[in-house]
Structure 1
Amino acid sequence: MTTITENDKYVLNAIFNPNYPLDFDKEPLSSDLTDSKDDKQSLEIKKLEEEGVRLAEQNRLDEAIEHFSQAILLNPQNPSAYNNRAQAYQLQNKTEEAMADLTKSIDLCSSENRHQKTLSLALTQRGILNRVLDNEKASLEDFTQAAEFGSAFAKQQVLLSNPYAAACNQMLSKMMKELSHTS
């Protein structure tokens, strides 16, 4: 089996998380399956998820969802597969299905500390989805939680939701632009 390089991880992150910064907290995406008791099953799940990501990259979303669903059948307690399937559902504009999978992923992650990265991603993704659905309060709650887990993008969204901070950020950006033009 081929190992995914850091560059591959950044490309996958950019595809599945187009609204996130490219260096999403400068941490590599990690698998939540690394300490699974059944290594053979864990490898099969990882293979299904990687194939699902590959299919999604090719815009073969129904097939990608099928792969993520198979991974979920093998281990219904795997939050990563729910998060990945939610991303594919979002690409198909299936908001209800995406929201259900994100909530399931978050619920599964919340019970164990080892899924912190997936929890941060799922909360951020659900925050974006809540914003699209004009549910600003829920969006801010998700972004706030994701920020607590270290998501730089979520921190930025929380900051921008504060009108005073947003105004301050605009003024600072303007000053930095002006300074760069005078140098």
Structure 2
Amino acid sequence: MGKKHKDGKKNKSKKKDQTEYTLADLSPALTQAARSMRTVLSRNLLESGLYAGQDGVILLLAETDGMTAGGLAQKLGVKAPTMTRTIGRMEAQGFLERKPDAEDARLTKVYLTELGRGSVKAIEMAASACDRTATLDFSEKEVRNLVRLLKAIDNNLQAEAVPFEEPDEI
């Protein structure tokens, strides 16, 4: 039976995970959460004809249309050959088109098509549904703290390659 407050009403708080976690649990937990998030987002995007990773390309081009494949690859943190294959596939699907740069004909730039621009709303809706599922039962404050902490982790990892060090023995 649930504990009662001073006012005699039952405490309806959900049972919290009482597991003690350590720093060693961080990488596996974060990696698994990211995989699960990507899986759900990919499933949500299938209806619009998009595959994993393509949403990032479309959202980036929606902000800055007319980027090179190398620029896209750098911004999205993937290798150039991977981006070239992704662009080719998305071009075949009708989301993107490649055009020579007007100022430097040696460069080819990537642009969204009407279909690509039209898919932005579907991507935003799929991401929003995934976010709601991922943060079910989280308060707004917990979501803000989670995002702040994840951004801090990303900034720490982006700042420099962290050298491997043996943990100090206690």
TM-score by length of 2: 0.26
Per residue, is there more helix in 1 or in 2? 1
Per residue, is there more strand in 1 or in 2? 2
TM-score by length of 1: 0.24
Relative contact order (alpha carbons < 8 A, sep ≥ 6): 1 or 2 greater?
2
